């Protein structure tokens, strides 16, 4: 990232950044919940990574990331469930270079027509977000699950 871009990023007032991060997660996780793999993968940088507790190593790059939402949607459909990812308690810490360290709590709700909704997972999500132009992108994501601690 050029020095100019970094300087621009740092100059964004905190409250603008905070709203942008919330909006970003709302859009991003809805893409995930609808199984929109390619669109969801484009919310990561080209070489973005995601670490999940049930995977042996991080998933790296949009091509690999794009496979995750359709797989998750198919698994939910097989179980007769609709899944909803819910980020909240968003803690944003801007770095001097304009990147953002974000930690949030993350819930997954699962609903079946016959049995109603249930709380499926409680997770903590730690992201490094970066700006490309006006867009926020995930450079790295690390998700931990409270049931696997």
Distance of alpha carbon 146 from alpha carbon 32, whole angstroms: 21
Could you say whether residue 120 binds a second copy (CB under 8 A)? yes
- Assess contact for 139 and 124: CB atoms under 8 A: no
- Which C-beta is closer to a second copy: that of 121 or that of 143? 121
Q: CA 76, CA 82: separation in Å to the nearest integer? A: 6
Under rule CB under 8 A, residue 14 binds a second copy: yes
Contacts of 123 (CB under 8 A, 6+ apart): 105, 106, 107, 108, 143, 144, 145, 146
Which tokens hold the place of 65?
């990331």
Per CB under 8 A, the segment of 3-11, 51-59, 62-70, 98-106 that binds a second copy is 98-106
What distance in Å separates the CA atoms of residue 111 and residue 115, rounded to the nearest whole number? 7
Closer of 64 and 121 to a second copy (Cβ): 121
Q: Interface with a second copy includes 34 (CB under 8 A)?
A: no
Our CB check for a second copy shows the closer of 107 and 143 to be 107
For position 95 contacting a second copy by CB under 8 A, the verdict is no
Summarize as ranges the residues that interact with a second copy (CB under 8 A).
Answer: 13-16, 18-20, 22-23, 25-27, 29-30, 82, 84-92, 103-105, 107, 109, 111-113, 116-122, 146-149
């Amino acid at each position: 990232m050029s020095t100019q871009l970094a300087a621009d990023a740092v100059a964004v007032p905190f409250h603008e950044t905070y709203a942008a991060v919330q909006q970003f997660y709302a859009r991003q996780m809805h893409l995930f919940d609808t199984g929109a793999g390619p669109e969801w993968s484009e919310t990561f940088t080209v070489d973005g990574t995601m670490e999940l507790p049930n995977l042996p190593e991080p998933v790296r790059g949009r091509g690999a990331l794009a496979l995750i939402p359709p797989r998750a949607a198919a698994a939910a459909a097989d179980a007769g469930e609709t899944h909803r990812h819910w980020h909240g308690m968003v803690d944003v810490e801007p770095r001097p270079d304009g990147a953002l360290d974000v930690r949030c709590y993350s819930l997954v709700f699962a609903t079946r027509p016959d049995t109603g909704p249930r709380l499926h997972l409680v997770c903590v999500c730690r992201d490094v977000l970066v700006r490309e132009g006006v867009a926020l992108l995930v450079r790295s994501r690390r998700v931990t699950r409270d049931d696997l601690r």
